[in-house]
Structure 1
Amino acid sequence: MTEVLALIPARAGSKGVPGKNLRKVAGLSLIEYAIKAAQAAENLTTIAVTSDDAVALAEATRHGILALKRSEGISEDASPVTLAVQQALEQAEQITGKHYDIVVLLQPTAPLRTGADIEAALALYEKHGKAVCSVSRCDDNHPARMYRIEDDQSLSPLLPDIAVLRRQDLPPVYLRNGALYVFGRADAVNGTIIKDDMTAYVMPNSTAINIDNELDLLVLEAFMARNTWTF
């Protein structure tokens, strides 16, 4: 039997949005969005929150999932999430006695994924045998529309060969949206969650809301007010 660990990283101390992972939209905290999506998915052996925040850990316990205390040394602004994954994997295995084959990373800051998304991403991992990353297509924010500003304030196009093309003529490009990462045990242990050769799980732009500031929260609130969301 394949053992799958779903990890929800919820570090305290966000600067852009204080208490970000616990902020509520439509009655649910961002952590709860991740928890409910995981609980709606099949084929997950264990669901866990890894955090240095006592309130976030209490939220995990309230929902009947593992609460894994993250060390202070890997809970700083500059701490890579790979370190949290490595520690949480070890902690979860010690607690459950299981040996996990696959890890699914569900970041609370990208809340609009469903149980069906998780299942589909896992199916892609099983099919291709390599890490899966959720992405959304870039439209108006295409890199062809991006520029550097030179020392004399002149604009220098990032992609000069296609900078003048119409939007509909631009080659499709995709942005990691942060909602889903699926990777094997070796990637978790080695800290190689993000790599060049990953399988794309494409999600619609309408769900590509990533919470980095207060405006993003307002966008999420507007989305939830207009849509009936099913995990």
Structure 2
Amino acid sequence: MKPTFLAVIPARGGSKGIPRKNIREIAGKPLIAWSIEEAKKSKYITKLILSSDDKEIIDVAKQYGCEAPFVRPKALAADETPGVDPILHAIEQCPGYDYVVVLQPTSPLRTVENIDGAIEMLLAKKKDFCVSVTESNQSPYWMYNLNVNGMMDPVIKQPNFAVRRQDLTPAFYLNGAVYVAKTKRFKITNSFLTNETLGYVMSENQSFDIDTEEDFIQCEQILRDCKSKK
């Protein structure tokens, strides 16, 4: 039997860094629309929903074809609310799906190929968790803490210090674009990050995560450039 996937786009109304960020227009459409449109192209996603406490965001999401079957409780939309809580709530409101996929609206350069690629990796390797990552251009093997005396202490202890970048072990960071998990396991772990989580590698130019006004401006230019090339 074909597995079922519930995709959740979490988008609360409060955004201090960039007010009304999730529905602010970027390259001709609301930010959240970029994620909705790519998710709707997926050949795996069974149901796509929005989790939001904000009526305006809900209305915009619906205009782009995303279901909003509930209004997120205010208690799950505070600054201090752990990111996993709204996802667990969404699963409770829409039960019965084998897997949950989380798509942050702040990753507008993420494509359907990235979404389906992460899902296909998880299914092919028969694992329960997969998250998108990007190779870091700043290696943690060349990073240090400074102790109370101002002396350098390596973040990662190494028996042999690599003096050439090409000799360093590649390091990857979470880019926030795609999270996939088997629903039953996720409800137990309350996390996408386990000892068996797979890392789906995305290119740096697809891994833009909008957090600041500068990010917004830079990402908009990238999106406009991509549209002009098409």
Normalized against structure 2, the TM-score is what?
0.89
Structure 1 residue 195 and structure 2 residue 194: aligned? yes
CA, structure 1 residues 90+148, in 2 after alignment: closer, same or farther (shift >3 Å)?
same
Give, in whole Å, the separation in 1 of the partners of 2:7 and 2:171.
28
Q: Higher mean Cα deviation, 186-195 or 75-84?
A: 186-195
Q: State the secondary structure of the residue aligned to 1:172.
A: coil
Please list, as runs of the form range in 1=range in 2, the aligned pairs for 1:67-216 lying within 5 A after superposition.
Answer: 67=68, 68-93=70-95, 99-130=96-127, 131-139=129-137, 141-159=138-156, 161=158, 165-190=163-188, 191-216=190-215
CA, structure 1 residues 163+207, in 2 after alignment: closer, same or farther (shift >3 Å)?
farther
Q: State the secondary structure of the residue aligned to 1:209.
A: coil
Q: State the secondary structure of the residue aligned to 1:227.
A: helix
| Preserved CA contact (<8 Å) 2:131 2:192 | no
Shift of 1:164: 5.7
Opposite residue 169 of structure 1, the aligned amino acid is D
| Preserved CA contact (<8 Å) 1:147 1:156 | yes
Shift of 1:213: 1.0
Q: State the secondary structure of the residue aligned to 1:69.
A: coil
Shift of 1:114: 1.0
Give, in whole Å, the separation in 1 of the partners of 2:14 and 2:161.
39
Equivalence for 1:59: 60
Unaligned regions of 5+ residues in structure 2, if any? none
Structure 1 residue 4 and structure 2 residue 5: aligned? yes
Q: Higher mean Cα deviation, 2-11 or 14-23?
A: 14-23
| Preserved CA contact (<8 Å) 1:5 1:44 | yes
- Say how many residue pairs are matched: 224
Runs of at least 4 residues off by over 6 Å: none
TM-superposition CA deviations, 1:3-25 (whole Å, max 9, x none): 21110010221222222222222
Opposite residue 87 of structure 1, the aligned amino acid is H
Shift of 1:229: 8.6
Shift of 1:143: 1.3
Identity %: 33
Give, in whole Å, the separation in 1 of the partners of 2:72 and 2:65.
18
Give, in whole Å, the separation in 2 of the partners of 1:63 and 1:102.
23
Q: State the secondary structure of the residue aligned to 1:47.
A: strand
Opposite residue 177 of structure 1, the aligned amino acid is N
CA, structure 1 residues 22+149, in 2 after alignment: closer, same or farther (shift >3 Å)?
farther
TM-superposition CA deviations, 1:69-115 (whole Å, max 9, x none): 1111111112112211111112123xxxxx10011110111222111
TM-superposition CA deviations, 1:107-156 (whole Å, max 9, x none): 111222111211111111211222111111012x2213433233344443
Structure 1 residue 40 and structure 2 residue 41: aligned? yes
Q: State the secondary structure of the residue aligned to 2:86.
A: helix
Normalized against structure 1, the TM-score is what?
0.88
Shift of 1:158: 1.9
Opposite residue 200 of structure 2, the aligned amino acid is Y
Unaligned regions of 5+ residues in structure 1, if any? 94-98
